[in-house]
Amino acid sequence: MNENIDKAFKVALEARSNAHAPYSKFQVGAAIKVVGDDTIYPGCNVENASYGATVCAERNAIIGAVARNGKIEIEYVVVACNTDPVTVPCALCLQVISEFAKPEMPVYLGDLESVKKTVLFKDLLPMPFNTLDC
Ligand code: THU
């Protein structure tokens, strides 16, 4: 795995340790790299007593990057979670990712040790909902 991805994986892992997951106890860390920006944006899941107000790690990272940059293109996403097989972004997060990513964008999926699997975004969500091209 290239060293930039390893660094982003570490950011995701560190973010995971900040997860606020008292309800599910399922801690997720994410990191995104944005085209033209060297910053790696961290995200963790932040749960809420109302459950429905919970924000996933992936969306948390994206929201931070948009707040900092405005318009973004995501270069890659990293997810870190202590599961085997690795955890993939949920459908809601995939839909949000689709707003900011090309079909060929890589998604790196890891456990607590390292990235274990690489998938292309288009293989996770082949047909995103989209109104702009209608
Ligand atoms: N979760 C994420 O953070 N990312 C995903 O892609 C899947 C689910 C979180 C939401 C909730 O806090 C916990 O995992 C259990 O669903």
Structure tokens at 11: 């950011």
Judge if the beta carbon of residue 21 lies within 6 A of ligand 1: yes
Q: Strand 106-110 vs strand 115-120: parallel, antiparallel, or unpaired?
A: antiparallel
58 is catalytic: yes
Report pLDDT for 66: 98
* pLDDT at residue 29 is higher than 80: yes
Amino acid at 105: M
Measured distance CA(102)–CA(29) in Å, rounded: 22
Q: From ligand 1's centre to the CA of 79, what distance in Å?
A: 11
Report pLDDT for 74: 98
Mean pLDDT along residues 82-109: 98
Q: From ligand 1's centre to the CA of 134, what distance in Å?
A: 31
Domain boundaries, the chain: 3-133
Task: Count the Cβ atoms, other than its own, within 10 Å of residue 53.
Answer: 9
Q: Which CATH architecture fits 3-133? A: 3-Layer(aba) Sandwich (3.40)
Residue owning tokens 């702009």: 132
* pLDDT at residue 4 is higher than 90: yes
Spatial CA neighbour of 114 closest among 76, 89, 78: 78
Global pTM reads: 0.97
Q: Strand 106-110 vs strand 37-44: parallel, antiparallel, or unpaired?
A: unpaired
The values of phi and psi at residue 120, to 5°, are -85, 145
Q: Which helix (H) or strand (E) holds 43?
A: strand 37-44
Contact 121, 101 (CB under 8 A): yes
Amino acid at 86: V
